[in-house]
């Protein structure tokens, strides 16, 4: 499974900028959304790299270290939805059974919706 962070390598939002002062001044803007002269400066002055601590997940150590069957929330968010649904179906924890049932229903509903609308898009049906 690809890490949840590999796809964030070039992202301002998910990887943290190497220059903290600039990062603080533009905490949540995508580089592409900046005015062109600022974007030119950012492209020249800033190196983007994946944060070595959180790997781009922006989750705290406490959040990252909390795992269910070896999977933390960042791993779960990076999963393909069909894999996530399969993973959720494999969870067996009676103390949160109602929550799990709702999660599984929601994921299955998403999957059915994706399949239904995916076929419509491929078939050119509006």
What residues make contact with Zn ion under the rule CB under 5 A? 51, 53-54
**Closer by beta carbon to Zn ion, 63 or else 101:** 63
Closest separation in Å from C-beta 51 to Zn ion: 3
Length of the chain: 126
Closest separation in Å from C-beta 61 to Zn ion: 10
Closest CA to 90 of 79, 100, 105: 100
Closest separation in Å from C-beta 25 to Zn ion: 18
Closest separation in Å from C-beta 78 to Zn ion: 15
DSSP 8-state secondary structure symbol assigned to residue 16: E
Which residue in the block uniquely carries the two structure tokens 């399949």?
A: 115
> What CA–CA distance (Å, rounded) separates 56 from 72?
14
**Closer by beta carbon to Zn ion, 4 or else 85:** 4
Question: Which 3 state secondary structure label does DSSP give 27?
Answer: coil
> What CA–CA distance (Å, rounded) separates 64 from 50?
16
**Closer by beta carbon to Zn ion, 17 or else 42:** 17
> What CA–CA distance (Å, rounded) separates 75 from 52?
16
**Closer by beta carbon to Zn ion, 3 or else 82:** 3
């Amino acid at each position: 499974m690809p890490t949840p962070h590999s796809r964030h390598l070039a992202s301002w939002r998910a990887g943290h900028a190497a220059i903290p002062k600039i990062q603080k001044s533009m905490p949540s803007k995508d580089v592409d959304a900046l005015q062109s002269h600022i974007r030119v400066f950012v492209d020249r002055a800033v190196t983007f790299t994946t944060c070595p601590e959180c790997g781009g997940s922006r989750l705290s150590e406490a959040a990252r270290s909390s795992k269910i069957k070896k999977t933390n929330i960042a791993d779960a968010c990076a999963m393909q939805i069909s894999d996530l649904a399969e993973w959720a179906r494999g969870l067996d924890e009676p103390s949160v059974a109602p929550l799990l049932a709702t999660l599984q229903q929601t994921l299955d509903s998403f999957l059915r919706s994706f399949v239904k609308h995916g076929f419509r898009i491929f078939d050119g049906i509006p």
